[in-house]
């Protein structure tokens, strides 16, 4: 029942945005009584924060699965960047974006969202370093990894406004080439 409530919440954040996501709609969508819902999640903020944490965890598992299937050799960097680009253009990012923007002007929500965001940011950074085999002890490498993640975040924001995947693909193609040169990677 908890999982059904959380899935319904994420769906509604994507479909109707933060202000359109009401606890009544969530209980209807999940087929859960209001009483049961309030028992699990007393407030809307409890619900939306738990929902995004839940989905991010599930998505983290998906990313790990996809990471295991990445090619080695000269195509690896491009594949890693595509995986990140897809992640930041998907529904998890959209739901998180709704929360971030709402949290900007809602102190209670910000208090709940900020620690989640910090953990996620760190985990994604560590994963990207590992997947690229990057050496952060080299000058500039840490900043290039961060720039890569900020780039896909910017592309993800554009994609929520209907930016096309063709534009995104060409940018990611070029960035993979530039990043490989910048990281001075040995091609295997």
Q: Is 18 or 41 the residue whose CB approaches a second copy more closely?
A: 18
CB of 24 to a second copy, least distance (A): 17
Give the interface segment with a second copy, choosing from 28-36, 50-58, 63-71, 136-144 (CB under 8 A). Answer: 136-144
Q: How far apart are CA 110 and CA 130, in angstroms?
A: 30
Are residues 68 and 128 in contact, defined by beta-carbon separation less than 8 angstroms?
Answer: no
- Binding to a second copy by CB under 8 A, coded x per residue (else -) over 152-181, reads xxxxxxx-xxx----x--xx-xxx-xx--x
117, 125, 127, 129: which one contacts a second copy (CB under 8 A)? 117
Vertex 119 angle, CA 101 and 75, to 5°: 95
| Contact status: 116 vs a second copy (CB under 8 A) | no
By CB under 8 A, tell whether 107 contacts a second copy: no
Q: What is the closest distance, in whole angstroms, from the C-beta atom of residue 135 to a second copy in the complex?
A: 15
Could you say which DSSP state residue 73 is in? G
Interacting positions 37-66 with a second copy (CB under 8 A): none
For a second copy, how many residues bind (rule: CB under 8 A)?
48
SS3 label, residue 178: helix
d(CA 95, CA 11) in angstroms, rounded, equals 8
Render 114-159 in DSSP notation, one character per residue. Answer: HHHHHHHHHHHHHHHHHHHT--TTSTTHHHHHHHHHHHHHHHHHHH
Q: Is 98 in the site for a second copy (CB under 8 A)?
A: yes
Check: CB of residue 155 under 8 Å from CB of residue 85: yes
* Residues of the shown chain interacting with a second copy in the complex, contacts defined by CB under 8 A: 15-20, 94, 97-98, 100-106, 110, 113-114, 117, 140, 143-144, 146-147, 149-158, 160-162, 167, 170-171, 173-175, 177-178, 181-182
């Amino acid at each position: 029942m908890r999982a059904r409530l959380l899935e319904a919440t994420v769906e509604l954040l994507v479909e109707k945005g933060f202000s359109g996501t009401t606890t009544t709609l969530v209980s209807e969508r999940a087929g859960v009584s209001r009483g049961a819902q309030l028992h699990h999640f007393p407030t809307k903020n409890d619900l939306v924060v738990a929902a995004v944490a839940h989905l991010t965890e599930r998505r983290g598992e998906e990313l790990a699965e996809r990471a295991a299937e990445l090619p080695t050799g000269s195509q690896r960097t491009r594949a890693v960047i595509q995986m990140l680009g897809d992640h930041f253009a998907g529904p998890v990012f959209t739901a998180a974006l709704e929360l971030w923007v709402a949290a900007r002007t809602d102190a209670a929500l910000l208090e709940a969202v900020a620690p989640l965001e910090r953990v996620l940011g760190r985990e994604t950074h560590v994963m990207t370093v590992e997947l690229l085999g990057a050496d952060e002890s080299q000058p500039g490498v840490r900043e290039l990894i961060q720039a890569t993640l900020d780039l896909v975040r910017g592309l993800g924001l554009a994609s929520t406004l209907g930016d096309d995947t063709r534009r995104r693909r060409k940018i990611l193609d070029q960035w993979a080439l530039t990043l490989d040169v910048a990281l001075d990677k040995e091609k295997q």
